[in-house]
Amino acid sequence: MNFFEQQRQAKNQTARLINMMILSIVMLIGLTSLPFVFSGFEDYLSGTGSLLDAFMALGVIATIVGGIVVIGGLLKYRELRAGGKVVAEKLGGRWLNGFAMTPGEKRLMNVVEEMAIASGSVMPAVYLLPDQSINAFAAGFTPEDAVIGVTQGAVTQLTREELQGVIAHEFSHIFNGDMRLNTQLVAVVHGLLVLGLSGGLLMASLLKGGKRDVRLMLLALFAGFLLCLAGFIGNLFGNLVKAGVSRQREFLADASAVQFTRNPQALIGALKKIGAQGSSISAARAGEYSHLYFSTGVSTTLSRMFATHPDLSVRIRRIDPQWDGQFTVPSAQ
């Protein structure tokens, strides 16, 4: 496996997806402004307005629409900036730093320390989740407030080398800034949702209002409908892009894990055991953080286009193209 080439491809694909999202948002803002621009040009052609007024209308409405997206995104961004400790505690994690008791917990802490050195990262807080499935996650906004969470199943059913592969994967998310990138993408998608909700509220308030100029009311209703449509289409497309970025970052983390451990079979072994046993997280709010997990932690009926993780078979074959397609039933270590 050429892990440097795999990393380059994943980073390039991430950049293309993000550029696509930026372009789409600009186009949505422009399309939403069109009714007001058409109205300004209509006044200009009828002699009741100037061409400058039409272009000013474009600028004002585009600024308002863009402002809604930005404000909605910033509010969500602020909410998500809470440290990784918040995520770990909501998933039922128990803090291990300085409190590791069993041999398995002590082995986990040793592996995290080893991978911190290998990746050049600071030692994060480590949390143990009670689930007997095999999974892990990295959460936080910066390396300084990052945490790594590992399930009890991963501690008891993975070999030391396999555990190293999983932890190295999570350190890649910290090292490559994936947590910050994901936070930014979630905020943008939320801003687009707020845009759609704003359009719905505008239409509802107009329909409840009293008599007013019919032409202006129809224009405002159309603008509200366009806001609503643009917001929800943008939110749908944004979620597609976010899922695509998340899958690319998983490929990047796999390649980085191989780089850190220099042992492709360690990561492959963990993925094979997950394929046989599963990786479900039982916490009530597990679905909210599914994009953070080493492997899909919740069942979903959504299209693969919205999946936050690549299929396990695809991940394994990226590392080992000669894989025979068989998963491995885990046993206690």
Judge whether 308 and 296 are in contact, CB under 8 Å.
Answer: yes
> Which residue is listed with tokens 């990784």?
84
Q: Measure the CA angle with vertex 134, ends 130 and 135; round to 5°.
A: 85
Catalytic residue among 161, 170, 250, 288: 170
Partnered with residue 261 across adjacent β-strands are none
5 a catalytic residue? no
Q: Minimal CA–CA distance to 230: which of 20, 16, 33? A: 33
Which two structure tokens, joined as six digits, stand for 36? 């007001």
Please state, in angstroms and rounded to a whole number, the distance separating the CA atoms of residues 94 and 173: 21
Please state, in angstroms and rounded to a whole number, the distance separating the CA atoms of residues 44 and 53: 8
Please state, in angstroms and rounded to a whole number, the distance separating the CA atoms of residues 51 and 49: 7
For 248, left (φ over 0), alpha (ψ -120 to 50), or beta? alpha
Please state, in angstroms and rounded to a whole number, the distance separating the CA atoms of residues 227 and 236: 14
Please state, in angstroms and rounded to a whole number, the distance separating the CA atoms of residues 201 and 255: 46
Burial class of residue 333 (count of CB atoms within 10 Å of its CB; 0-12, 13-18, 19+): middle
CB atoms within 10 A of CB 79: 12
Q: Which residues are catalytic?
A: 170
